[in-house]
């Protein structure tokens, strides 16, 4: 039984609201948790095959130029070394972008950035390969490199598809009762997933099998096949467990192609694990940005104009540009509007999607500007936002599929105690600390991506879900089991979930906050189809059918599945995006509140507490969803206060290419965080009535912190991250307000 459903019309109701199994939305523990805490969940670098050998990638030591020769003599002479694999044409220059189906840029004779992998040294043991990698002599003809983003910003070229304009923004700025026109800068960042990129490649005849640490297997498979000149059905990617991705593993990365080539050349399985340095230097990063935000408003606080223009960087011939204005375009009204991105070509590692590409840094600028505008107009920041919620999309004139932003703002303000905030900066002192509070709105677009799943109802009253969807820590295993359990009237323990293998039906993959809703819908649809069959078998209409405790019921008549299912029942369902994507603005919304302390003498910033109220349609599992939001808010702490990838503008190296000096927040940086979900259903999003939640927590979180820093000490810092050296020279007189 195969069915395809296209999301062309809003759905009237969802079965999940009628099945009454009390499984969906419940905060159940993640079902693979026991495996993970026992160290028995196996990741890509943890598969071992007879004859398997180890490869270590060798990266370029110049940022631009051409390889003139590779001398293998010293490396080959070392004990245990089997091969130095080079393939100038086929090796990937850089990883792929998410959802691309063609191979990423190939060809490594030309060097585009420092650390670009150019060869793979393969040896019997990992240590032998690592030693030999250090003994590979590569000669280069260096070329002049473009390394200084800020110095080169005037050479940025506009990205045509991003340019949008309406009305006369310059005029609106001139006529405004209050206006903001300022520039925010954010640094280069790295996803820093805990698991380094890794692939284990082996050939079975003419079929390549890769155990790869990837987020989106069905498109990754096409990228890999294209890179190697294979038909997609000759490539199988397996990723049962992925140690975090946050965007860095959306597309394939260099180690998979290198491992595949080496495995073919040596006729042995080859495992390649990137070092942490290679993850920083050669995979993906979030681009640094320069963002100009303009706001024009009347004395009543209503926006009359809004502009958000962004400069980012990328490698030659790469056109991804952090869409910083993504949510700015629909979050607030104002007739005159201008948005656009431009790109500086740099010899720095690929810029691509890191968690919440766009909003993660764009909201820092927009929500910082809104805070400044609120102050200029002497309007409460929460009220200013509520006053500017547009009834429909301000440019496309489309309705919102659902938007509980005003409710989130009100609820969050109340739960946080916003009313007690002193709006005057540098006016609340406790001991050696200035205390401040800030807020920001949260918004992140919602998407539906084509996704398929197969559900088999067995004769043993158990169900099996199979899809090449991944669980990168998000909770996919658990929510898919919950959906099936809810739909089929089975306990969660009776659902087996098999993910992360392209041998299964192709799914959306994990990215863009669309995974749960897309893959979840495919499971929902397949289960719905199974319900129809069961209804037929007990002579009920689908509406009359009640499934619970492994029984099918119609009125008082009931039959156990074991009687109804004598052969396994299989349904495969595919969901495709349809017209609701074009006819509605779809996004999840929320409100962030933060309280910080700024040390009166040193300028040290400590976050004291955070609160987030979110509305994202149906919450599929209250526990996994909450964790997604908390984790996102902690990304927000990093974005606001600690994370900055430092590029050396002379050598092209990344100075802090390790977890010691690329500062993720640690335990002690993270204060009490409260997360509340408001009840909401989105009928235009998908039949689950759910919206994506993986990136909502980060969107706006850093801005709330920055606004709180301003409220604490009266310093506006628009250059992220906010480190104490940017505050210390301008701290207010500590004796102005006594503790």
Partner 1 sequence: MTEIRGTLRFILNDSLVELTDISATRTLLDFLRLDRHLRGTKEGCAEGDCGACTVLVGRVSGEGIAYESVNACIAFVGALDGAHVVTIEHLSSPTGPLHPVQQAMVEHHGSQCGFCTPGIVMSLYALWMRMPEPGRQDVEKALQGNLCRCTGYAPIIRAAEAAAGFGRPEEDPLVLERSGMVAKLRALQDGSRIEIGEGRARLIVPSDVEDLARVYAAEPEATLVAGSTDVGLWVTKFMRDIGPLIFIGNLEQLQGIEDTTTGVTLGAGVSYTRAAQVLARRFPQMAELWHRIGGEQVRNMGTIGGNIANGSPIGDTPPPLIALGAKVTLRKGSERRTLKLEEFFIAYGKQDRAPGEFVESVMIPALPAGEQFAVYKISKRREEDISTLCGAFRIFVNDAGTVGMVRIAFGGMAATPKRARAVEAALVGRPWSAETIEAALPAFSEDFQPISDMRASADYRMLTARNLLRRFHLETTGAGQRLERGAA
Distance in angstroms (rounded) separating the CA atoms of residues 606 and 658: 23
Count of alpha carbons within 13 Å of 5, Cβ hemisphere only? 26
Determine which residue in the list 37, 69, 419, 566 makes contact with partner 1, applying CB under 8 A.
37
């739960």: which residue's tokens? 415
Distance in angstroms (rounded) separating the CA atoms of residues 465 and 670: 37
Neighbours of 292 (CB within 10 A): 16
- For residue 586, give both structure tokens: 């779809």
Kindly tell me which of 301 and 631 has the beta carbon lying closer to partner 1.
Answer: 631
Fill in the per-residue mask, 456 to 485: x = in contact with partner 1 (CB under 8 A), - = not in contact.
----------------xxxx----------
Determine which residue in the list 7, 11, 15, 45 makes contact with partner 1, applying CB under 8 A.
45
Determine which residue in the list 627, 639, 686, 707 makes contact with partner 1, applying CB under 8 A.
627
How many residues in total does the chain contain? 739
Distance in angstroms (rounded) separating the CA atoms of residues 382 and 147: 41
Task: Report CA-CA distances (Å) from 190 to 104, 246, 286.
Answer: 19, 9, 6
Verify binding: residue 542, partner 1, rule CB under 8 A: no
> With contact defined as beta carbons under 8 Å apart, do 459 and 568 qualify?
yes
3-state helix, strand, coil in the chain (%, to 5): 30, 30, 45
Distance in angstroms (rounded) separating the CA atoms of residues 437 and 420: 10
Verify binding: residue 561, partner 1, rule CB under 8 A: no
Least distance CB 605 / partner 1 (angstroms) = 9
Kindly tell me which of 34 and 107 has the beta carbon lying closer to partner 1.
Answer: 34
- For residue 486, give both structure tokens: 């809810």
Phi-psi label, residue 203: left if phi above 0, alpha if psi -120 to 50, beta otherwise: beta
Using the rule CB under 8 A, give the single segment among 125-133, 309-317, 327-335, 565-573 that binds partner 1: 125-133
Kindly tell me which of 537 and 623 has the beta carbon lying closer to partner 1.
Answer: 623
Phi-psi label, residue 305: left if phi above 0, alpha if psi -120 to 50, beta otherwise: beta
- For residue 211, give both structure tokens: 């155990």
Fill in the per-residue mask, 271 to 310: x = in contact with partner 1 (CB under 8 A), - = not in contact.
--x-xxx---------------------------------
Count of alpha carbons within 13 Å of 709, Cβ hemisphere only? 32
Residue 296: enclosing H or E segment and its boundaries? strand 289-297
Residue 198: enclosing H or E segment and its boundaries? strand 198-204
* 695 is an active site residue: yes
Distance in angstroms (rounded) separating the CA atoms of residues 34 and 493: 13
Distance in angstroms (rounded) separating the CA atoms of residues 665 and 725: 18
Least distance CB 597 / partner 1 (angstroms) = 2
Determine which residue in the list 642, 676, 678, 737 makes contact with partner 1, applying CB under 8 A.
642
Verify binding: residue 631, partner 1, rule CB under 8 A: yes
Given the residues 100, 322, 359, 695, the one annotated as active site: 695
Distance in angstroms (rounded) separating the CA atoms of residues 635 and 345: 27
Fill in the per-residue mask, 651 to 690: x = in contact with partner 1 (CB under 8 A), - = not in contact.
----xx-xxxx-xxxxxxxxxxx-----------------
Verify binding: residue 80, partner 1, rule CB under 8 A: no
The helix/strand/coil state of 161 is: helix
Least distance CB 297 / partner 1 (angstroms) = 33
Count of alpha carbons within 13 Å of 436, Cβ hemisphere only? 28
Least distance CB 413 / partner 1 (angstroms) = 21
Q: Write out the binding residues for partner 1, residues 588-617 only, by CB under 8 A.
A: 596-597, 599, 601-602, 604, 606, 608
Least distance CB 453 / partner 1 (angstroms) = 21
- For residue 89, give both structure tokens: 């044409």
Using the rule CB under 8 A, give the single segment among 194-202, 286-294, 544-552, 582-590 that binds partner 1: 194-202
Kindly tell me which of 307 and 597 has the beta carbon lying closer to partner 1.
Answer: 597
> With contact defined as beta carbons under 8 Å apart, do 529 and 575 qualify?
no
- For residue 582, give both structure tokens: 């074009």
Verify binding: residue 38, partner 1, rule CB under 8 A: yes
Least distance CB 609 / partner 1 (angstroms) = 9
Distance in angstroms (rounded) separating the CA atoms of residues 525 and 265: 44
Least distance CB 614 / partner 1 (angstroms) = 14
Verify binding: residue 353, partner 1, rule CB under 8 A: no
Kindly tell me which of 458 and 671 has the beta carbon lying closer to partner 1.
Answer: 671
DSSP state of 528: H
Using the rule CB under 8 A, give the single segment among 131-139, 261-269, 310-318, 401-409 that binds partner 1: 131-139
Using the rule CB under 8 A, give the single segment among 222-230, 557-565, 650-658, 677-685 that binds partner 1: 650-658
Q: Write out the binding residues for partner 1, residues 426-455 only, by CB under 8 A.
A: 430-433, 435
Least distance CB 479 / partner 1 (angstroms) = 13
Least distance CB 242 / partner 1 (angstroms) = 7
Verify binding: residue 41, partner 1, rule CB under 8 A: yes
Fill in the per-residue mask, 508 to 537: x = in contact with partner 1 (CB under 8 A), - = not in contact.
------------------------------
Distance in angstroms (rounded) separating the CA atoms of residues 568 and 487: 17
Using the rule CB under 8 A, give the single segment among 334-342, 368-376, 542-550, 627-635 that binds partner 1: 627-635
Least distance CB 70 / partner 1 (angstroms) = 18
Verify binding: residue 738, partner 1, rule CB under 8 A: no
Verify binding: residue 39, partner 1, rule CB under 8 A: yes
Binding footprint of partner 1, residue count (CB under 8 A): 86
Distance in angstroms (rounded) separating the CA atoms of residues 501 and 489: 27
- Residue 676 sits at φ, ψ, to 5 deg, of -125, 135
Q: Which residues have a catalytic role annotated?
A: 695
């Amino acid at each position: 039984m195969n069915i395809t459903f296209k999301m062309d019309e809003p759905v009237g109701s969802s079965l999940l609201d009628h099945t009454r199994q009390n499984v969906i939305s419940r905060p159940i523990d993640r079902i693979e948790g026991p495996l993970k805490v026992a160290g028995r969940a196996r990741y890509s670098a943890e598969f071992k095959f007879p004859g398997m050998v180890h490869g270590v990638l060798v990266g370029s030591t110049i940022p631009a130029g051409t390889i003139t020769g590779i001398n293998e003599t010293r490396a080959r002479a070392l004990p245990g070394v089997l091969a130095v694999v080079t393939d100038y044409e086929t090796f990937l220059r850089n990883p792929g972008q998410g959802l691309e189906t063609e191979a990423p840029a190939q060809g490594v004779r030309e060097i585009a950035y420092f650390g670009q992998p150019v060869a793979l040294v393969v040896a019997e043991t990992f240590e032998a390969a690592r030693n030999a990698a250090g003994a590979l002599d590569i000669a280069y003809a260096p070329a002049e490199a473009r390394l200084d983003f800020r110095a080169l910003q005037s050479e940025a070229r506009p990205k045509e598809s991003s340019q949008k304009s309406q009305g006369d923004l310059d005029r609106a700025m001139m006529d405004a009762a209050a206006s903001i026109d300022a520039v925010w800068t954010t640094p280069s960042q790295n996803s820093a997933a805990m698991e380094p990129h890794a692939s284990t490649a082996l050939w079975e005849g003419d079929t390549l099998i890769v155990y790869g640490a990837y987020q989106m297997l069905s498109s990754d498979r096409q990228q890999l096949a294209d890179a190697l000149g294979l038909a997609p059905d000759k490539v199988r990617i397996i990723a049962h467990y992925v140690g975090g991705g946050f965007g860095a593993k959306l597309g394939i990365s260099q180690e998979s192609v290198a491992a595949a080539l080496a495995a073919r050349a040596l006729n042995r399985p080859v495992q390649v694990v990137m070092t942490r340095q290679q993850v920083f230097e050669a995979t993906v990063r979030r681009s640094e940005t320069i963002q100009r935000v303009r706001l024009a408003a009347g004395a009543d606080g209503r926006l009359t104009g809004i502009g958000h223009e962004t400069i980012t960087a990328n490698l030659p011939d790469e056109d991804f540009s952090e869409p910083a204005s993504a949510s700015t375009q629909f979050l607030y009204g104002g007739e005159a509007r201008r948005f656009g991105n431009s790109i500086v070509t740099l010899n720095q590692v690929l810029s691509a999607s890191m968690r919440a590409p766009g909003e993660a840094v764009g909201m820092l600028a927009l929500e910082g500007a809104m805070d400044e505008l609120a102050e200029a107009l002497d309007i409460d920041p929460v009220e200013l936002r509520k006053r500017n919620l547009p009834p429909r999309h301000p440019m496309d004139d489309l309705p919102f599929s659902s938007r509980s932003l005003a409710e989130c703002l009100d609820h969050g303000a109340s739960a946080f105690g916003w009313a007690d905030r002193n709006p005057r900066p540098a006016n609340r002192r406790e001991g050696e600390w200035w205390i401040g509070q800030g807020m920001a709105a949260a918004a992140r677009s919602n998407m539906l991506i084509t996704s398929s799943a197969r559900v088999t109802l067995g004769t043993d009253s158990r169900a099996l879900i199979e899809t090449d969807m991944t669980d990168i820590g998000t909770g996919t295993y658990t929510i898919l089991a919950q959906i099936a359990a809810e739909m089929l009237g089975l306990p969660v323990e009776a659902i087996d979930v098999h993910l992360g293998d392209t041998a299964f039906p192709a799914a959306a993959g994990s990215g863009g906050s669309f995974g749960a809703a897309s893959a979840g819908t495919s499971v929902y649809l397949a289960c719905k189809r199974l319900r129809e069959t069961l209804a037929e078998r007990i002579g009920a209409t689908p509406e009359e059918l009640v499934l619970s405790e492994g029984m099918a019921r119609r009125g008082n008549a009931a039959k156990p599945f074991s009687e109804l299912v004598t052969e396994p029942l299989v349904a495969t369902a595919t969901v495709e995006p349809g017209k609701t994507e074009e006819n509605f603005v779809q996004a999840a919304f929320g409100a962030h509140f933060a309280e910080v302390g700024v040390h009166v003498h040193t300028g040290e910033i400590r976050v004291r507490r955070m609160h987030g109220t979110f509305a994202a349609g149906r919450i599929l599992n209250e526990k996994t969803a909450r964790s997604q939001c908390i984790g996102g808010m902690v990304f927000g702490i990093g974005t606001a206060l600690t994370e900055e990838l430092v590029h050396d503008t002379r050598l092209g190296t990344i100075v802090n290419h390790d977890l010691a000096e690329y500062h993720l927040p640690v335990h002690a940086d993270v204060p009490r965080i409260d997360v509340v979900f408001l009840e909401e259903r989105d009928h235009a999003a998908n039949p689950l009535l759910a919206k994506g939640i993986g990136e909502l927590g980060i969107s706006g979180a850093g801005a709330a912190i920055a606004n709180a820093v301003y409220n604490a000490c009266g310093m506006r810092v628009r250059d992220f991250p906010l480190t104490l050296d940017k505050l210390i020279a301008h701290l207010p007189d500590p004796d102005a307000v006594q503790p």
